[in-house]
Amino acid sequence: MPVIGDEERRARVGRRHLLVPSGRVARVEEAADAVVGLHATDAATVYLSACARLAEPSAAAVERALYEDVSLVKLLAMRRTMFAVTEEFAPYVSSSTARAIAAKERATLLKHLRDLAEGWDEQRLAAAERAVLAALERRGEATTKELGDDVPELREQMVMSAGKPYENKQSVGSRLLRLLAADGHVRRGRPRGSWLSSSYPWAPVPQWPDVPVREAKAEVVRRWLASYGPATVEDVKWWTGWTLGDTRKALADVGADGVELTGGAAALVLPGDAEPVGEPEPWAALLPALDPTVMGWRGRDWYLRPEDVPALFDRAGNAGPTVWWCGRVVGGWAQRSDGEVVWRLFAGVGAEAEAAIAGEAARLAGWLGEVRVTPRFRTPLERELVAK
């Protein structure tokens, strides 16, 4: 069985995730496809992750892909996480993952609605969904609040986690629009405000081609292994959020080859992909919170020291901003209120690395301009850096 060591894995990350300076690309869609999809739970991540991989970073280019060309679409998908994927790939993500999540979301919403008031059932929910879609067809796009003027049911409030310390209220509209988005009927429009804003309208989307579920799962795994392989079965299962049975079936469908990792663990690559990719030039990267690369594998010891995890991740497992040098996480970074990008390294990395990291910080600060970014999920190191 071929052996793929940690150095080779780190070389693949640099090349295949477009983090080597010579490998950066011109189009946002290429950046998204290189990592299969961009994490989109935090609105800023899509922009920061894409621009880290663009030869000429531009928030306007990302906005154009999301809201004008609609060549990049957001889906509640793998691990019930929001991803921005290319329009061409979206049907596979929808069929393999998003529709199953939408079915669970619908069942959960129905339970909450039945607790809210008598008369809420599958028929009333379906009628409300049709009314929302009809209103969007008339308006072109509208916020949840605006849609509540057309469909009054959306304004009703549900108590979530009643009696618990984190009890809160949510509108029927916020959950129903999320459900329609997971089902592929609506998408988020351009935010009302800056690209960091969480206030956005909804817009209808054309229905994607229907892809058989098994074919869709195989395509998702094929793309993922091309970008992230070698990887263990556990890595694939964790990243997709599928059952072990579905994961193994998809790996068999793509004909994945077995390889051995450093330490002897069994892993998989696409057929014929066990050959070395070649050592890239030295590279540094400042990647944002929840970037696809740092969140790419369940097993991370080959690029992230376990002792650094508490500083870089929150308690729910969300990664904060990370500093990379040649395929390893070597520190974290943050942006202060005056716009300065600051960082801390966990150990000495040498003069070449420090110069390259400083160059990446200047590149990031340059295209951000007057924009100030605070991660949605704050981590200990990011908070410390901002406070000083």
pLDDT above 80: residue 348: yes
How high does pLDDT run on average in the chain? 94
Distance CA 71, CA 84 (A): 10
| Residue 115: predicted pLDDT | 79
Alpha carbons 28 and 136: distance in angstroms, whole number: 28
The sign of the CA dihedral 140, 136, 32, 378 is positive
Is the pLDDT at 118 greater than 80? The verdict is no
Reference 83, options 31, 50, 36, 44; nearest CA is 36
Contact between 210 and 74 under an 8 Å Cβ cutoff? The reply is no
Q: How confident is the model at residue 176 (pLDDT cuts 50, 70, 90)?
A: very high
Q: Are 220 and 96 in contact (CB under 8 A)?
A: yes
Q: What is the pLDDT of residue 131?
A: 96
CB 268 within 8 A of CB 257: yes
**β-strands 82-86, 157-160: how paired?**
unpaired
Give the per-residue pLDDT at 120: 84
Q: At what angle do helices 213-228 and 244-253 cross, to 10 degrees?
A: 80
**Least-confidence region, from 74-83, 157-166, 211-220, 332-341:** 157-166
pLDDT in tens, 177-219: 988 988 889 998 988 888 888 788 999 988 889 999 999 999 9
* pLDDT score of 192: 83
Q: Among candidates 236, 302, 227, 269, which has minimal Cα distance to 1?
A: 269
Residue 242 tokens read as: 């599928």
| DSSP track, 249-260 | HHHHHTTPEEEE
Lowest mean pLDDT among 39-43, 258-262, 381-385: 39-43
pLDDT value at 164 more than 80: no
Residues 6+ away with beta carbon under 8 Å from 243: 237
Among residues 26, 69, 67, 74, the alpha carbon closest in space to that of 50 is found at 26
Return the percentage of the chain with pLDDT > 90, whole number. Answer: 82
Task: Assign 82 a pLDDT band (cuts: 50, 70, 90).
Answer: very high
pLDDT tops 80 at residue 148 = yes
Q: What angle do CA 27, 32, 34 make, to 5 degrees?
A: 95
Q: Pick the range with the lowest mean pLDDT from 27-41, 145-159, 160-174, 182-196.
A: 160-174
pLDDT of residue 285 exceeding 80: yes
pLDDT at 206: 84
Q: What is the pTM for the complete model shown?
A: 0.92
Sheet containing 322-325, strands listed edge to edge, beginning at the edge strand earlier in sequence: 284-287, 322-325, 328-335, 341-345
| Residue in the structure block whose two tokens are 């390259």 | 356
Stretch 344-367: mean pLDDT: 97
Amino acid at 60: A
Mean per-residue pLDDT, 248-267? 97
DSSP string, 117-167: -TT-SHHHHHHHHHHHHHHHHHHS-B-HHHHHHH-GGGG-EEEESTTSTT-
Sign of CA dihedral 173, 291, 317, 241: positive
Q: Where are the alpha helices (DSSP H) in 35-121?
A: 43-52, 59-63, 90-93, 99-116
Confidence class for position 284, pLDDT limits 50, 70, 90? very high
- Angle, alpha carbons 307-308-309 (nearest 5°): 95
Average pLDDT over residues 350-354: 97
Better pLDDT: 293 or 153: 293
- The mean pLDDT of 252-270, rounded to a whole number, is 97
Q: Residue 244 CB: number of other CB atoms within 10 A?
A: 11
Question: Which secondary-structure segment (H or E) carries 188?
Answer: strand 186-188
Which comes out higher in pLDDT, residue 161 or 279?
A: 279
User: Are residues 69 and 35 in contact, defined by beta-carbon separation less than 8 angstroms?
Assistant: no
Please determine, for residue 166, whether its predicted confidence score (pLDDT) is greater than 80: no
pLDDT class of 159 with cuts at 50, 70, 90: confident
CA 286 to the chain's CA centroid: 16
Residues contacting residue 100 through CB under 8 Å, at least 6 positions apart: none
Segment 82-100 mean pLDDT: 95
Peptide bond into 230 cis (omega under 30): yes
Between strands 257-261 and 3-4, the pairing is parallel
Query: Average pLDDT for residues 66-90, to the nearest whole number?
Result: 94
Angle ∠(360,367,223) on CA atoms, nearest 5: 70
Q: pLDDT by residue (tens digit) across 223-254?
A: 999 999 999 999 999 999 999 999 999 999 99
Pull the structure tokens for residue 308: 């650094």
